[in-house]
Amino acid sequence: MLLPAATKRRRQGRRPRHTRTGITLPRADGRTIAARRFRELVESFEQELGGNLSEVEQSLVRQAANLTQVNERLQADVVAGVQIDADAMVRISSEARRILGMLRSKAAKNKLQAVPNLQNYLAARYGKPESEATD
């Protein structure tokens, strides 16, 4: 079956909706102000958490960035005098706070595990003292 030239062009020019890094949405090429703000939020949250995050933590960071951005938009609407759903704003901010709290607690646990105590450091650096090695 032969397709008109316009249909062929449209099919060839389509971008895949699913990529290795997630779903790409139409017209979401990352150049909008919202897309740049989203990347800034993700980078700042990852930096605050110490980087080197697992896939689950990265997903939580993206969710928190998204909710933070929606909350910022709602706050801008309040300042502009636009009528908003206050209940939705409270729920969105609470969910963002909950996700960020989970990430902070995970980051705190990771930092505690990463910091060696003096005794372990000396044992790793110089080995065990001879008095302990013979016991």
104-114 tens-digit pLDDT? 888 777 766 66
Best-predicted range by mean pLDDT (6-15, 49-58, 126-135): 49-58
Please give the pLDDT value at position 119: 79
Q: Which residues contact 23 (CB under 8 A, 6 or more apart)?
A: 17
Q: What is the pLDDT of residue 134?
A: 56
Give the per-residue pLDDT at 126.
86
Radius of gyration of the chain (CA): 25
The least confident of 2-6, 77-81, 108-112 is: 2-6
pLDDT of residue 52: 79
Q: Residue 126 is encoded by which pair of tokens?
A: 């110089």
Residue 128 Ramachandran class (φ > 0 left, ψ -120 to 50 alpha, else beta): beta
**What integer pLDDT is reported at residue 83 of this predicted model?**
94
